């Protein structure tokens, strides 16, 4: 009797693990899309509002989702304190901070960090180009993920169940 209950528990937990990995993929897709929206907003603030970066960040933080809204709000606040740090330092520090809260891949976090390196540099045209470049990277990431996500989620679900069963078989 105990054996059977134990086996069921193992299989269930295996399934859960598989599902949570799949969920992570869905969250990643959501975050990438949220970033894309952020870039569109930022572009507008710079293009039409001719806003300085801290001001623009403060504005857009109201319209976007966590954890990015918090990140932009904090960057804006820290920049306005003028504590002797460059823009890139502040930017990278805060991207690093939210890294663990997101489901982004390492590579995608690096891309987000790299965006900060070119912001504030040269003229307005340059800002827009920098944002466009980053948007292209996002588009690429989103497209890739969307193509594979259905298959991947199913795969992870199966793997979870199978893994559970496998472990039960080995133990028995």
Site residues (CB under 8 A) for another protein?
46, 50-55, 79, 82-84, 86-87, 120, 122-124, 126-127
Please state whether the peptide bond connecting residue 67 to the residue before it is cis, i.e. omega within 30 degrees of 0.
Answer: yes
**What contacts 101, CB < 8 A, 6 or more positions away?**
66, 67
Q: Give the nearest distance from C-beta 18 to another protein in angstroms.
A: 45
Nearer to another protein, 76 or 102 (CB): 76
Q: Give the nearest distance from C-beta 34 to another protein in angstroms.
A: 23
Q: Give the nearest distance from C-beta 13 to another protein in angstroms.
A: 49
Q: Provide the sign of the torsion angle of the four alpha carbons 25, 26, 27, 30, taken in this order.
A: positive
Distance CA 132, CA 16 (A): 39
Nearer to another protein, 107 or 123 (CB): 123
Distance CA 163, CA 172 (A): 14
Q: Give the nearest distance from C-beta 86 to another protein in angstroms.
A: 7
Nearer to another protein, 52 or 114 (CB): 52
């Amino acid at each position: 009797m105990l054996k059977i209950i134990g086996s069921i528990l193992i299989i269930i937990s295996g399934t859960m693990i598989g599902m949570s990995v799949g969920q992570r993929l869905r969250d990643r897709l959501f975050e990438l899309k949220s970033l894309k929206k952020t870039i569109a907003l930022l572009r507008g603030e710079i293009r039409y509002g001719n806003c300085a970066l801290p001001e623009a960040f403060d504005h857009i933080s109201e319209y976007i989702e966590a954890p990015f809204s918090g990140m932009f709000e904090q960057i804006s606040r820290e920049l306005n304190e003028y504590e002797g740090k460059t823009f890139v330092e502040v930017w990278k520090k805060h991207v690093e901070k939210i890294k663990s809260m997101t489901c982004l891949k390492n590579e995608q976090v690096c891309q987000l960090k790299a965006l900060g390196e070119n912001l504030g540099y040269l003229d307005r045209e340059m800002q827009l180009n920098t944002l466009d470049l980053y948007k292209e990277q996002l588009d690429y990431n989103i497209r890739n993920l969307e193509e594979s996500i259905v298959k991947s989620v199913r795969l992870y679900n199966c793997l979870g169940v199978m893994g559970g069963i496998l472990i039960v078989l080995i133990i028995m």
